[in-house]
Homo-oligomer: A and B are copies of this chain.
Amino acid sequence: MSDYIKVTLDESEIPTQWYNIIPDLSEPPPPPLHPGTHQPIGPDDLAPLFPMGLILQEVSQDSYIDIPGPVMDVYKRWRPSPLYRARALEKALDTPAKIFYKYEGGSPAGSHKPNTAVAQAYYNAQEGVTKLTTETGAGQWGSALAFACAQFGLECEVWQVAISFDQKPYRKTMMETWGATVHSSPSNLTEAGRKILAMDPNSPGSLGIAISEAVEAAVGDESTKYALGSVLSHVLLHQTVIGEEALLQLAKVGETPDLLVGCTGGGSNFAGLSFPFLREKMAGKMNPTVRCVEPASCPSLTKGEFRYDFGDTIGMTPLVKMHTLGHDFVPDPIHAGGLRYHGMSPLVSHIYELGLVEAEAINQTECFAAGVQFARTEGILPAPEPTHALAAAVREAKRCKETGEEKVILTALCGHGHFDLTAYEAYLSGRLVDYDYPDEKVAAAMKNVPVVAG
């Protein structure tokens, strides 16, 4: 195995359980609060939006949850995903470091998102739900849910942020090919959408508005539920198949990671890779540094505050304790749309507070430079989001060149960039810009965060 390029597993080696990190933590994450009463919410409060199967996972104290057979059968279409040794990139960097990447772009939708979309569609179908609603920005999550709904015979209705709906028609067609209905948001199909359109008929939309529309469309109908692609604990849970497989794969080639780097937007890709390794770290079996990488334009961990805030822009969701830049913070228009979120998963935020992980923020031009170098060496054209993790890996590999350290670096390449080529075009033609650190915008947005005891 000394000259391997990738480490593959057999279908029979797909993990049979998702890993729930919560019981292993020294203290539990703070509970979500009702936006009106500021009291902890219970499963019943979430029932209009989610099926009980997912709500019970959201609050579960079990360390492991079995992956149902029908979910496993869909996972088998692209799982186990390959773990690559980036030998060509290492050579180009002339580094003694060993760089590994776990590639999730081989899924039908092209990212890690189907790992949870398939599970969510399954549990909804099990409870008699016939339709799921959701929002999507650039389209990765909407695509994943459209694919998953087609697998379980569910209708799928997607509100896509208007500016993305207009600029990325291919993602819309992809969702429609899988049978989904896609609306430009704000739409005149919901009260929330009509309100926004009344104020601004040409509104470009936002993820916050699209969430409001998808939620409104779900709560009015018993057989319709809502699905979220990141942030919540059950979403992070489903992604742990990534890290469980990577653990097996590194063991097969006798390597133990010194550093994990993953990009963080809502946190699900990062959590999926890192939680199983954090379990091993907490058990004293290995001791990797685990690093979140976020865009300098949307630095929720490195610049945000850890406090209760709304998950959406308009303030309809429960209050969750997380690293936030303020729920009405609008990030600069960087190309990594999946990282343009004002908050951070409460569970990742909590783990960061516990000191289990660290964070750094990187500007997009450095990320695209790493992405192009990666494409020319390793071949795969990465999505803009994971170029943040690649840039961090390149930084570390260059440090290793100086120090001579043979660090083992593991990163998650969570999706391909086939629908992001306008961003590469902007980079290659020199039109891609960086933005100043948004300190003033953050300070302004933080003033609107509700004051909650605790």
Interface residues of A (CB under 8 A from B): 3-6, 8, 10-11, 73-74, 76-77, 84, 88, 106, 108, 110, 147, 150-151, 169-170, 173-174, 176-179, 372, 375-381, 418-419, 421-422, 424-425, 428
| Interface residue from B10, B88, B173, B379 paired with A425 (Cβ < 8 Å) | B173
Q: Which residue of B lies closest to A371 (CB)?
A: B177
**Which residues in B have their C-beta under 8 angstroms from that of A177?**
372, 375-376, 381, 421, 424, 428
How many copies make up the complex? Answer: 2
Minimum-distance CB pairs A-B, first 3: A108-B379, A5-B76, A170-B421
**Which residues in B have their C-beta under 8 angstroms from that of A3?**
73
- A173 contacts B5, C-beta separation under 8 Å: no
Most buried by B among A4, A84, A174, A428: A174
**Which residues in B have their C-beta under 8 angstroms from that of A179?**
376
Q: Which residue of B lies closest to A378 (CB)?
A: B77
- A424 contacts B8, C-beta separation under 8 Å: no
A418 to chain B, nearest CB (A): 4
A409 to chain B, nearest CB (A): 19
**Which residues in B have their C-beta under 8 angstroms from that of A425?**
169, 173, 176
- A379 contacts B428, C-beta separation under 8 Å: no
**Which residues in B have their C-beta under 8 angstroms from that of A106?**
106
- A5 contacts B73, C-beta separation under 8 Å: yes
- A178 contacts B5, C-beta separation under 8 Å: no
- A421 contacts B375, C-beta separation under 8 Å: no
**Which residues in B have their C-beta under 8 angstroms from that of A381?**
108, 174, 177
A16 to chain B, nearest CB (A): 14
- A174 contacts B421, C-beta separation under 8 Å: yes
Cα(A381)–Cα(B381), bound, Å: 18
